[in-house]
Amino acid sequence: MELITYFMQRGHFSPKIINNDLSEKLHATFLEMLDGQKRYFLKKDIAQFDRYKYALDDEFRSLNTDFFDLVHARYIQRRNEAELFYTELLEKPFDYSKNEEIDLDYEDQGYPITLRQRSEKWRKQLKFSTLNIVHSKLEEEEKRAEKDTSYQPKLFDELEAEARQITRENLENYFSLMEDVRDEDWFGSYLNAFVSQFDPHSVYFAPVDKDRFDASMSGKYEGIGARLTKRNQSIKIVEIISGGPLWRDQSIDVGDQIMMVRQEEGDPVDVQSMRLDDAIELIKGPEGTTVFITVKKVDGTVEEVPINRDTVVMEESYLKSSLIEKAGRSYGLIHLPKFYVDFKDYKERNAAKDMQQEIIRLKSQGMNGLVIDLRNNGGGSLQTVVDMAGFFIDEGPVVQVKSTSEKSKVLRDRDGKTLWEGPLVILVNELSASASEILAAAMQDYERAVVLGSKQTFGKGTVQNVLELNRFVSKSTYGDLGALKYTTEKFYRITGKSTQLEGVKSDVVAPDRYAYVDIGEKDEENPLVWDQITSASFSKWGGYKNYQDVIQKSSNRIATNDLFQLIDKNAKWVKDQQEKDIFSLNYKVFSSDIEKRESVADQYDVLDDYTNSLSFSSLPYERVKMKADSILAEKRKRWKKTLKKDMYLEEAVHILEDLELNFIPSKPLALQQN
């Protein structure tokens, strides 16, 4: 408590006064962490906890843990009570003909007043969980009967009994996992509740969490290849790691909610009420094994997906390129999943160095325009961004960085050379964050590239530093104290405007499935504010004859494109489905609602049938590699198949075709060298 309080107040970019206001928010955050579904604590418990609502600031100053001790002990007590009565609720079938509903919007619900009210809340939640399992089992029986006409499907009552047993086993597993959670783990959660009041990217890593963080930075990920988060009692996919099992399988998307996890042997385990770490432990497993994940898709449909666990090697996080052929002309595509770097030795492989080499290779094949794809790129090394931006301008500022203790400093390109001076388009979406936003913003501010994509990018304009707490105390005396990741700097566009919250607004906005989903920095808890500093001195590139006209022409094309309009309609429907909180517990109504959702979702299948008019081919050096590496050949084959379905890429090529230079290059574009 002492070390974390000190560094959050002295080192954080935007330190907060630890006062009654912060105390009140910390109080609410910790209770939400422990019992966000309001199914353990009673109203009288909360009344007792409320005595501390404005006292937690004083507790942190005096290193007092009375509030934590009280809440933690009461939580264990209430959890033990629930463990005794849930089996009784599952002993006999639920009445699925009864017209009743469950409201999953827990935020506005009150805590149960009596033990009877608490039991009734549990009954509805157990019925809802069982209902989902029954419906899935009935669908499985129908599919099996369709494939095998001699198969006799199981009846509803038999499947319902199996579903209740699965629900019971899920809870047994859950309570068993809870028994393994140590007191110091709960205290780590309390410290995290405190740290999160400063901003969403500051995190306290307990020792075991620090080990996981170190592993994630080492170049390999074991499991399914995804980053998860828990928010509003939902475990969601927030990032799919390039090259991992989910990335290869393409059956689960960012934004999907994980409901259940099943191993190769055994029944599904409901993870929705679990701590995130416990759910991750169930999902992880040895390379080569299969885990079955039931997800609620962003469109509201529910399905079980088998995923083969694997070791995710960072090779697939490196950039890759393709030549694009259209109407006898060649264009280049560089897909950059992240701004990678070896922090121990910058001269080793990094994103900027690889991009430089790839641009030279593409030019040697006669490209007339370049697309840089930054969609789903969550960021990375700041230095690689600065170096990369320098490939497209002679010299000038790229980004401004400011900390609390220093004036803003300008990071600039100084080499006086341009590697690529031809037409340039940058593709972005809502998941393009941090370093991606710096590059897109710089190219937009110079009017060097046309930025095509979502209405705005993620909006993360901050930089974090990881601090080992053991550096400041004796490990032998205090044990391993873990680490603190906290926000130390903010970066700004060369215009002086922050990308924080606002992100980068695309020059040409193209609808996508995440357009109306709460997925950006602005949707996080306690984000830092948007602000503005003095503009750096720079001049616009001025190399295009028709920059604004091309942007308008592209916008008009998208506005009249039926498929883009269908995507926008789909995105609005997805948003409506996500906002649905009330579900019927009458089986006929529940099943009918699912069928209606699936029927509406089917009308968007036409989007899967789209193919563009572009042709794709690997560069000569990679074709040589592919002959000797069948795995690489298969990866590239699959990637090109995906590119053929990409209507955003087709529009990017339209923009490259339309852009006209207002100068005559000293050499043909394809022959230029740095």
Q: Quick: pLDDT tens for 334-366.
A: 999 999 887 666 567 789 999 999 999 999 999
**270 and 381 in one domain?**
no
Please, which pLDDT band fits residue 669 given cuts at 50, 70 and 90? low
Q: What is the pLDDT of residue 268?
A: 83
Q: Does 668 have pLDDT greater than 70?
A: no
Q: What is the pLDDT of residue 183?
A: 87
Percent of the chain with pLDDT over 90: 65
What mean pLDDT is reported for the chain?
A: 89
Q: Does 263 have pLDDT greater than 50?
A: yes
Q: What is the pLDDT of residue 673?
A: 44
**134 and 96 in one domain?**
yes
Instruction: Please state the separation of Cα 612 from the chain's center in Å.
Output: 28
Mean pLDDT of 215-235: 62
Instruction: Please state, in angstroms and as integers, the Cα–Cα distance from residue 405 to each residue in 198, 321, 401, 409, 513, following that order.
Output: 17, 41, 12, 12, 41
Interatomic CA distance for residues 213 and 209, integer angstroms: 6
User: Does a structural domain hold residue 572?
Assistant: no
**275 and 186 in one domain?**
no
> 331 exposed, middle or buried (CB, 10 Å; 0-12, 13-18, 19+)?
buried
* Sign of the Cα pseudo-torsion (69, 70, 71, 75, in order): positive
What are the pLDDT digits (tens) for 395-413?
999 999 999 877 889 999 9
**412 and 353 in one domain?**
yes
Q: What is the pLDDT of residue 368?
A: 96
Mean pLDDT of 229-258: 76
**Quick check: helix, strand or coil at residue 634?**
helix
Residues whose CB falls within 8 Å of the CB of residue 468, separated by 6 or more in sequence, listed in order = 483
Q: Which residue has 């699965």 as its token pair?
A: 166
Boundary-marking domain end, from 243, 273, 308: 308
Residues whose CB falls within 8 Å of the CB of residue 96, separated by 6 or more in sequence, listed in order = 131, 160, 585, 586, 587, 588
Per-residue exposure over 429-451, b if at least 16 CB sit within 10 Å of its own CB, e if not: bbbbbbbbbbbbbbbbbbbbbbb
- In one-letter notation, the amino acid at residue 10 is R
Q: What is the pLDDT of residue 220?
A: 45
Q: What is the pLDDT of residue 425?
A: 98
Q: Give the residue, 273 or 53, on which the prediction is more confident.
A: 53
Q: What is the pLDDT of residue 193?
A: 95
User: Does a structural domain hold residue 394?
Assistant: yes
**254 and 144 in one domain?**
no
Q: Does 385 have pLDDT greater than 60?
A: yes
Reference 231, options 523, 577, 527, 573; nearest CA is 523
Boundary-marking domain end, from 248, 281, 308: 308
Please, which pLDDT band fits residue 65 given cuts at 50, 70 and 90? very high
Residue numbers of the domain that contains 153: 17-195
**278 and 336 in one domain?**
no
Find out whether 482 and 205 touch, Cβ atoms under 8 Å.
Answer: yes
Please, which pLDDT band fits residue 215 given cuts at 50, 70 and 90? very low
Please, which pLDDT band fits residue 315 given cuts at 50, 70 and 90? low
User: What is the DSSP code (8-state) at residue 303?
Assistant: E
- In one-letter notation, the amino acid at residue 468 is E
Mean pLDDT of 133-137: 91
Check which CATH number belongs to the domain holding 655 and give it: 3.90.226.10
Instruction: Please state, in angstroms and as integers, the Cα–Cα distance from residue 384 to each residue in 186, 390, 434, 496, 544, following that order.
Output: 39, 10, 12, 21, 26
CA angle 654, 641, 636 (to 5 degrees): 105
User: Does a structural domain hold residue 71?
Assistant: yes
Residues whose CB falls within 8 Å of the CB of residue 512, separated by 6 or more in sequence, listed in order = 429, 430, 453, 454, 567, 571, 648
**Quick check: helix, strand or coil at residue 151?**
coil
User: What is the DSSP code (8-state) at residue 153?
Assistant: P
Interatomic CA distance for residues 550 and 73, integer angstroms: 64
CA angle 144, 150, 153 (to 5 degrees): 50
Mean pLDDT of 376-386: 91
Residue 456 main-chain phi, psi, to 5 deg: -155, 160
> 545 exposed, middle or buried (CB, 10 Å; 0-12, 13-18, 19+)?
exposed
**230 and 361 in one domain?**
no
Q: What is the pLDDT of residue 117?
A: 95
Its pTM stands at 0.82
H or E element at residue 63: none
Count how many Cα atoms sit within 13 Å of the Cα of residue 348 in the half-sphere of its side chain.
6
What are the pLDDT digits (tens) for 188-208?
999 999 999 999 999 998 876
Check which CATH number belongs to the domain holding 271 and give it: 2.30.42.10
Find out whether 222 and 284 touch, Cβ atoms under 8 Å.
Answer: yes
**Quick check: helix, strand or coil at residue 247?**
helix
What are the pLDDT digits (tens) for 28-44?
999 999 999 999 999 99
The 3 state secondary structure assigned to 248-276 is HHCCCCCCCEEEEEECCCCCCEECCCCCH
What are the pLDDT digits (tens) for 452-508?
999 999 999 999 988 999 888 876 677 788 899 999 999 999 999 999 999 999 999
Q: What is the pLDDT of residue 487?
A: 95
H or E element at residue 129: helix 115-147
- In one-letter notation, the amino acid at residue 142 is E
Interatomic CA distance for residues 233 and 275, integer angstroms: 9
Reference 554, options 504, 503, 510; nearest CA is 510
User: H helices within 156-216, ranges in order?
Assistant: 156-179, 183-195, 207-216
**Quick check: helix, strand or coil at residue 103?**
strand
Q: What is the pLDDT of residue 273?
A: 67
Boundary-marking domain end, from 308, 339, 360: 308
Q: Does 137 have pLDDT greater than 50?
A: yes
What are the pLDDT digits (tens) for 173-182?
888 878 878 8
Q: Does 213 have pLDDT greater than 60?
A: no
Per-residue exposure over 460-496, b if at least 16 CB sit within 10 Å of its own CB, e if not: bbbbbbebebbeeeeeeeeeebbbbbbbbbbbbbbbe
Mean pLDDT of 4-13: 94
Mean pLDDT of 568-591: 92
Please, which pLDDT band fits residue 214 given cuts at 50, 70 and 90? very low
**269 and 152 in one domain?**
no
User: Does a structural domain hold residue 588?
Assistant: no
Q: Give the residue, 237 or 117, on which the prediction is more confident.
A: 117
User: Does a structural domain hold residue 584?
Assistant: no
Instruction: Please state, in angstroms and as integers, the Cα–Cα distance from residue 375 to each residue in 372, 433, 568, 621, 639, following that order.
Output: 9, 9, 18, 25, 14
Tokens of 645: 């379905």
Find out whether 294 and 136 touch, Cβ atoms under 8 Å.
Answer: yes
Instruction: Please state, in angstroms and as integers, the Cα–Cα distance from residue 8 to each residue in 210, 348, 488, 544, following that order.
Output: 18, 34, 10, 47
Mean pLDDT of 122-151: 92
- In one-letter notation, the amino acid at residue 661 is L
Q: Give the residue, 555 or 465, on which the prediction is more confident.
A: 555
DSSP assignment of 489-546: EEEE-TTSBB-TTT--B-SEE---TTTTSS-SGGGSSSPPPP-B-PPPP------BSS
**323 and 235 in one domain?**
no
Mean pLDDT of 273-280: 75
Mean pLDDT of 44-63: 97
Q: Which residue has 């995190």 as its token pair?
A: 203
CA angle 249, 251, 255 (to 5 degrees): 120
Interatomic CA distance for residues 294 and 302, integer angstroms: 7
User: Does a structural domain hold residue 543?
Assistant: yes
**101 and 184 in one domain?**
yes
Query: Based on the structure, what is the number of domains in the chain?
Result: 3
**378 and 436 in one domain?**
yes
**Quick check: helix, strand or coil at residue 207?**
helix
Reference 410, options 495, 329, 342, 486; nearest CA is 495
**291 and 341 in one domain?**
no
